[in-house]
Structure 1
Amino acid sequence: MSKKSPAPAGCPCGGPALATCCGPYIDGAAIAPTAEALMRSRYTAYGQRNEPYLLATWHPSTRPTEPIMSDEEKLQWLGLEVKSALRLRQRKADDADLTEDTVEFVARFKINGRAQRLHEISKFVREPAEGGDLRWFYVDGRFPE
């Protein structure tokens, strides 16, 4: 009787598997091709407590100078729903020159055992990074009613 290897766990952002979804962006093996892909990888990085990745993908004009995570905070990320994904998928291929974008999402989490949700419309810009490659950066977010 042969043992079946377990199927890879889905990516925390809701994608198929970390290794083929957010993992390559977080590991630096690939550059997130869209603002949505960057947002999803940042959600995953929050779950991994990967502060260096979060800071590296934050636009320098709005990047915090203080730590963004606390060891005392018991935070558990529960799920991500991208509200604007359909609109993003419907864009034409000639939008490859896009330099600004927004992504609306709802992230569910527990903080110190208490359920919360974060509904944000995040602003992203695409510009050259060190080395000259065009990259998406998180700028800021607003919270709709």
Structure 2
Amino acid sequence: MKPAVLPEVCPCGSGLRYAICCGRRHGGAEFAPTAEALMRSRYSAYVLKLDEYLLATWHASTRPAELNLADDPTKWLGLEVRQHRSTGPDQAEVEFVARYRVDGRGHRLHELSRFVREDGRWYYVDGDY
């Protein structure tokens, strides 16, 4: 399901227009070239409630059967990528902090996420909070 209104500036914090940043990945025009790019596109997908994209970029070994973000009251406020590092030829970690609000209360999600590359595509595996 696509959002009714697409943002002008990409939610991932790159400063680029959405259409030339995460919008290209969400629309299927390109795959994320790095684990950090995938993490940023997944953050933007949460902002825009793009369940299908999130499931498609989640590794099969840890992917939930479904997501239902349409009714999720979370309002994502910003993303800070703190570190991106390779942990092997086809593995990487991305540390980030995402700010969000639920029912008027502010929160922070600080996570070290793990990613794997299979057949040239990056997938989110899991993360530690």
TM-score using structure 2 length? 0.87
| Post-superposition offset of 1:69 | 2.7
Q: Aligned with 2:69: secondary structure?
A: coil
Say yes or no: does 1:25 pair with 2:17: no
Q: Aligned with 1:84: secondary structure?
A: strand
Gaps of 5+ in 1: 1-7, 92-96, 129-133
| Post-superposition offset of 1:70 | 5.5
Q: What is the identity percentage for the equivalent residue pairs of Structure 1 and Structure 2?
A: 55
Gaps of 5+ in 2: 1-6
Per-residue CA deviations over 1:77-115 (Å, capped at 9, x if unaligned) read 000000015xx5xx8xxxxx9300000000000012211
Q: Which whole-Å CA distance do the structure 1 matches of 2:33 and 2:90 have between them? A: 12
Number of residues paired by the alignment? 121
**Higher strand proportion (structure 1 or 2):** 2
Answer with 1 or 2: which has the greater Rg: 1
Q: What amino acid is the match of 1:42?
A: R
Please tell me the root mean square deviation across aligned C-alpha atoms, in Å: 1.8
Question: Are the counterparts in 2 of residues 74 and 113 from structure 1 also a CA contact under 8 Å?
Answer: no
After TM superposition, what 4+ stretches of structure 1 lie above 6 angstroms from structure 2?
none
TM-score using structure 1 length? 0.78
Q: Which whole-Å CA distance do the structure 2 matches of 1:32 and 1:66 have between them? A: 22
Say yes or no: does 1:101 pair with 2:100: no
